[in-house]
Structure 1
Amino acid sequence: MTMLQQTSRTFYIPISRLTTKLKEAVTSAYLCMRAIDEIEDHEQLPDEQKVELLYGLHDAMLAPNMPEATKQLLEPYREVLPAVSMQLPEWALLCPKSIADTVYRYTAKMSKEMAEWVEAKWQIRTEDDLDRYTYSVAGMVGELLSELWLWYDGTKTDRAKAIAFGRGLQAVNILRNQKEDSERGVNFFPEGWGHKDMLRYTRRNLKVADEYIADLKEGPALSFCKIPLQLAHATTNLIAAGGNKLTRDAVLKIVNKIGG
C-alpha cells in the first residue's frame, strides 16, 4: 500500500477501501501494470532496451516459472529502473491464486503492446491510432477490472463501456501532461487536433464511462469506480477552464462527497 500511495493519487483511495481479497487482486494488477508503464515512460532507457525488456516481460509473465523469469530479466536494470518496476515479481505474487493467471495475462498483453508503441515511436496520426494507444495503456485496465469484479462477486459489466472508462481516464492524463510530453518529444494528439478536439474526445469517453457506472449495482465495483471517474470529470472541467491539476483539498472534497 505504501508503493501504491507513492505511485497513484487517483487509485490509492478507492483501492484502500476494498475488502482484503479484492484489494490484493486490484493492488497486484495496478502495480504490475504500473511497473510496465514506468519502463515505457523511462526517460534514460534507450528505446531499443525498452523494446527488448518489454517483449521479454511479456514472455516472462506467461512462463511457468514467472517469478524467477521476471526477476532474472529485470536484474540487469537494477540501477536504472524505479523500485515499482524492479518489484514486479512481488506485485504479481500478491495476487490471489484463483485470479492470478488473468492478471498475468493482461500484464503480459500490456507489456507487448507497449513494446509495439515504443517501436512505433508513439506515432499517433488518426483517432483510430489514439483509440489503440489509449486501449493499450488504460482501456485494457478497465477490461481487466471487469474480470476482477466478475471473479469477486459475479458482477457483470459491459466490456466496451469498461474500456471507455479506462480510455477516458487516460485521455485526461494526455490533456494534463501535454506540455511535459511535448518537452520529451512525444505528442499523443492526432494530426490536426488541437486542445478542443482532445477535450471532446475525453468527454465523449467519460460520458460512456458514466453509463458504465450507472449500470453497476451497489457494491465494491461501483464504490471503486466512482472516485477516479469523478476526479477525471473535475480535472477535465478544470483543464477546460485553463487549469491543470486538482489541489489536494479539491481531491479530498470530491472523495468525501462521494463516500466520506
Structure 2
Amino acid sequence: MGTLGAILKHPVDIYPLLKLRMAAKHAEKQIPPEPHWAFCYSMLHRVSRSFALVIQQLGTELRNAVCIFYLVLRALDTVEDDTSIPTDVKVPILLAFHRHIYDRDWHFSCGTKDYKVLMDQFHNVSTAFLELGEGYQEAIEDITKKMGAGMAKFILKEVESIDDYDEYCHYVAGLVGLGLSKLFHASGLEDLAPDSLSNSMGLFLQKTNIIRDYLEDINEIPKSRMFWPREIWSKYVNKLEDLKYEENSVKAVQCLNDMVTNALIHMDDTLKYLSELRDPAIFRFCAIPQIMAIGTLAMCYNNVDVFRGVVKMRRGLTAQVIHQTKTMADVYGAFFDFSCMLKSKVDNSDPNAVKTLSRLEAAQKSCRESGALNKRKSYIIRNEPSYIPVLIVLFFILLSIIFAYLSANRPSY
C-alpha cells in the first residue's frame, strides 16, 4: 500500500518505474550461459540491485570487468564487515586477498545471506576473473591489494580525526574510483582520469553511505561499526552511540549536518570528473550513483530519522534519475536541484550553517556557469500539483464514456 500511495502522490514516477522494471527484466536476460558467469551476474543482482542496473549501461567486455571488480571488492568488504571474525584471522585474509583472486579453489565462509553465498562460492568469481584481459586483471589486483592493506590498517585503528576519515574512505571507496578509472582506460574508451578526481568520486559516495547507515552500523552485532570521526561527533556527544537516543536529538541533528557538510566538499571534483568523460555508457554508469548521492544527502540533512531508521530516496525518484540522466546538462540540473533542496533545509542557527551554505553555493555556481541548466528538465524541485483529484476525475470520465458506449450498443428487446 505504501508503494501505491507513493505512486498516487507522484504519478510522474509511473513511466520511469515501468522503464526501470523493463530494464531489470532485460538485465536478467543478459546473464551469460556459462555457470561461473551466470553465478557472477545473478550474485551482482542479489548483493546490489541498483549497481546491477547501472552496470548494464556498459559494453560487454567492460561490463564483465566491472562486474568482477565489484564482486571481488564486495567479497573483501564482507570479510572486513564480519565483526565475528577474530582480528588475528581477519587481517591476514585482507592482506592476502589480492592473491586469492587467482586461486580457483579459494573460499572463506563468512558474512550472512547472499554475502555468505558469495564467499562460499567465490571460486566462480576467480574463474571469471582469470578470463578477463590482462589489463583488467592488473587493475583489479592492484586496487584489491591496496584496499586490503588499508582495511587491515583500520581494523587496528579507530577513525579519530577527519584526516583518518578521509584516509579510511580512500581505502574503501576512493580506490574504487581509481580502479574504475583504470578499467575505463584499459578499455580504450577513456583517458586516465587524475587520481584526485577519481578519489573524490569514491569519497562522495562512501561518505553518503556512512552518513545514511549510522543506525545500522552502530547497532551491528556482536560489535558496533563506527566510521563517523571522533573529531566531529565529540563536539556534540560523549559517545558515538549517544546520537541514537531521543534525548540527544538536537545535538544528533547538528552532528549529522556537520557530517553532510563534510561530504559536500567533494561535489566540485565529482562534477569535473563527470564533465570530462567521453563515452555515453561510461558517463551514465558514473553519473547515476553520484546524483543518487547528492539526493540522499539532501534527504538526510537536518533529518532526525537518520537516527531512527533508513532514510533514502523513494524508488520512483530513483527511477526518474536513472531514466533521465543522459547528458552532463542532466547532472548539472540534478546537482543544482538537490542543492536547492538541501539549502532550503539549512537553519541559520546550525553551528555549521555558514560552511554548509558556502559549499552549496560553490556547487550551484559551477552548475550555473556551465550554461546547461536551461537545457534539462527539472524533476526534483518544484511545487508538484496534486494529481489525485485529476486522476479521479479522469477515471470517472473514462467510466462515463464506457457506460455511454455500452448503453448505445445495448440491443433492443
The TM-score normalised by the length of structure 1 is: 0.87
- Counterpart-to-counterpart distance in 2, 1:213 and 1:222: 7
Partner in structure 2 of residue 146 of structure 1 = 181
- Counterpart-to-counterpart distance in 2, 1:38 and 1:49: 14
Partner in structure 2 of residue 239 of structure 1 = 300
Kindly indicate whether residue 146 of structure 2 is the aligned counterpart of residue 109 of structure 1. yes
Kindly indicate whether residue 45 of structure 2 is the aligned counterpart of residue 5 of structure 1. yes
The Cα of 1:247 is off from its aligned counterpart by 2.5
Partner in structure 2 of residue 198 of structure 1 = 259
One-letter amino acid of the counterpart of residue 93, structure 1: T
Deviations 1:101-137 (A, max 9, x none): 22122112212221221122xx111111011100110
Relative contact order, higher structure (CA 8 A, sep 6+) = 1
One-letter amino acid of the counterpart of residue 118, structure 1: I
Kindly indicate whether residue 318 of structure 2 is the aligned counterpart of residue 251 of structure 1. yes
1:65-80 superposed matches below 5 A? 66-68=102-104, 71-72=105-106, 74-75=107-108, 77=109
1:34-183 superposed matches below 5 A? 34-61=74-101, 66-68=102-104, 71-72=105-106, 74-75=107-108, 77=109, 82-95=116-129, 96-98=132-134, 99-120=136-157, 123-156=158-191, 157-183=193-219
The Cα of 1:56 is off from its aligned counterpart by 3.2
Tell me, yes or no, if the aligned pair for 1:31 and 1:88 is still in contact at 8 Å: no
Structure with greater proportional helix content:
1
Deviations 1:25-80 (A, max 9, x none): 1001011000100110013323332213222324434xxxx224xx34x35x3797
One-letter amino acid of the counterpart of residue 116, structure 1: K
Work out the number of aligned pairs and report it.
250
Q: In structure 2, the residue corresponding to 1:6 is in which secondary structure?
A: helix
Structure of higher CA gyration radius: 2
Tell me, yes or no, if the aligned pair for 2:177 and 2:202 is still in contact at 8 Å: yes
Tell me, yes or no, if the aligned pair for 1:138 and 1:166 is still in contact at 8 Å: yes
More deviation, 10-19/172-181: 10-19
Tell me, yes or no, if the aligned pair for 2:277 and 2:283 is still in contact at 8 Å: yes
- Counterpart-to-counterpart distance in 2, 1:163 and 1:92: 26
Q: In structure 2, the residue corresponding to 1:232 is in which secondary structure?
A: helix
Counterparts in 2 of 1:23 and 1:190: CA distance versus 1, 3 Å = same
RMSD: 2.2
More deviation, 21-30/176-185: 176-185
Deviations 1:227-249 (A, max 9, x none): 11111111111111526112222
Counterparts in 2 of 1:54 and 1:192: CA distance versus 1, 3 Å = closer
- Counterpart-to-counterpart distance in 2, 1:235 and 1:79: 26
Partner in structure 1 of residue 270 of structure 2 = 209
Tell me, yes or no, if the aligned pair for 1:34 and 1:85 is still in contact at 8 Å: no
Q: In structure 2, the residue corresponding to 1:217 is in which secondary structure?
A: coil
**Share of identical aligned residues, percent?**
25
Q: In structure 2, the residue corresponding to 1:67 is in which secondary structure?
A: coil
- Counterpart-to-counterpart distance in 2, 1:225 and 1:78: 30
Kindly indicate whether residue 288 of structure 2 is the aligned counterpart of residue 227 of structure 1. yes
Q: Where in structure 1 are there 5+ consecutive unaligned residues?
A: none
- Counterpart-to-counterpart distance in 1, 2:120 and 2:316: 32
Q: In structure 2, the residue corresponding to 1:153 is in which secondary structure?
A: coil
- Counterpart-to-counterpart distance in 2, 1:187 and 1:207: 27
- Counterpart-to-counterpart distance in 2, 1:239 and 1:22: 33
Tell me, yes or no, if the aligned pair for 1:92 and 1:104 is still in contact at 8 Å: no
Moved over 4 A (4+): 78-81
- Counterpart-to-counterpart distance in 2, 1:53 and 1:27: 22
- Counterpart-to-counterpart distance in 2, 1:198 and 1:97: 40
Deviations 1:71-109 (A, max 9, x none): 34x35x379771223343432432412221221221122
The TM-score normalised by the length of structure 2 is: 0.57
Tell me, yes or no, if the aligned pair for 2:82 and 2:110 is still in contact at 8 Å: no
